[in-house]
Amino acid sequence: MARQSFMTRFTIGFILAFCLVTGYAQYETFFFKNEGKVAISQADVESAAQSLINGHGARVAIYVVVTGSEYDFTQRLKADGLENIYGRQSDLLAIYIATEEQYSEIRWGSDFDRLDGGRIRREVLNPSLRDRAFSDALINTLQEVDGDLSNPLVSIAYSLGQFCNTPTVLIIIGLLLFLYFGVKLGATGIDGVDNSSSWSSSNDSSSSWSSSDDSSSSSGGGSDGGSWDD
């Protein structure tokens, strides 16, 4: 019975480790959707976003639509997992453009509280939008945001994250977690610790992990939106 319980918990530990590793591998940093029926060079925009992604650990999201509003922007961010009931992701930098309403908005997470998004929208984004130069509007805005931000520690953390995201490292992490759970759960079974108590402790640990994951969303940061003529 004890051995069966050990194998059950060992299997659960492996599944949890596998989910953690695969979830990290699917982490996205650039979202781009052009439904606005306007010409935009996605390659150039993505290239401009790389400085924010690599240098500041940002997740950059850009939405260009024909008709939309602040509400539509929110719904799109939620659909892409960038905003939820607790707020937007702390590392978010998002730009929204609705061509028919001539509406523009910039949103940013709490990691970039020092960003003056209102100035950038009015002085950089909107002038190019009024000229219908949509690629320039996005590229110049991303470059201006990058110029306003400076945080070398975030850059180092992102580089480490990219390194850990390589297939070889992910496999090693998965194996280490597998061995960790196996040894820990095996030792628990051998020592004769009450199974229900151990399982309760495991549940408490899982609950703590879930809470930590939710905290990546934040009500901090800011936003600035309105007409292109602002």
Instruction: State the residue range of the domain holding 191.
Output: 2-24+166-214
In a domain, 230, yes or no: no
Q: How many domains would you assign to the chain? A: 2
φ and ψ at residue 226, rounded to 5 degrees: 160, -165
In a domain, 224, yes or no: no
Q: Are residues 119 and 171 in the same domain?
A: no
Integer Cα distance of 92 and 101 in angstroms: 24
In a domain, 42, yes or no: yes
Q: Are residues 106 and 176 in the same domain?
A: no
| Mean per-residue pLDDT, 151-180 | 62
Q: Are residues 57 and 97 in the same domain?
A: yes
In a domain, 197, yes or no: yes
Higher pLDDT, 186 or 7: 186
How much is the mean pLDDT over the chain? Answer: 77
Q: Are residues 124 and 184 in the same domain?
A: no
Q: Above pLDDT 70, what percent of the chain?
A: 62
pLDDT digits (tens, 9 = 90+) for 90-115: 999 999 999 999 999 999 999 998 89
Identify the H or E element spanning 100: none
In angstroms and rounded to an integer, the radius of gyration of the C-alpha atoms of the chain is 22
- The H-assigned helical ranges of the chain are 2-25, 42-56, 70-79, 117-120, 126-130, 134-148, 152-164, 167-191, 195-214
Q: Are residues 86 and 112 in the same domain?
A: yes
- The domain that contains 93 carries what CATH number? 3.10.310.50
Does the global pTM surpass 0.75? Answer: no
pLDDT digits (tens, 9 = 90+) for 122-148: 999 999 999 999 999 999 999 999 998
Residue 32 has pLDDT above 70, yes or no: yes
Q: Are residues 37 and 88 in the same domain?
A: yes
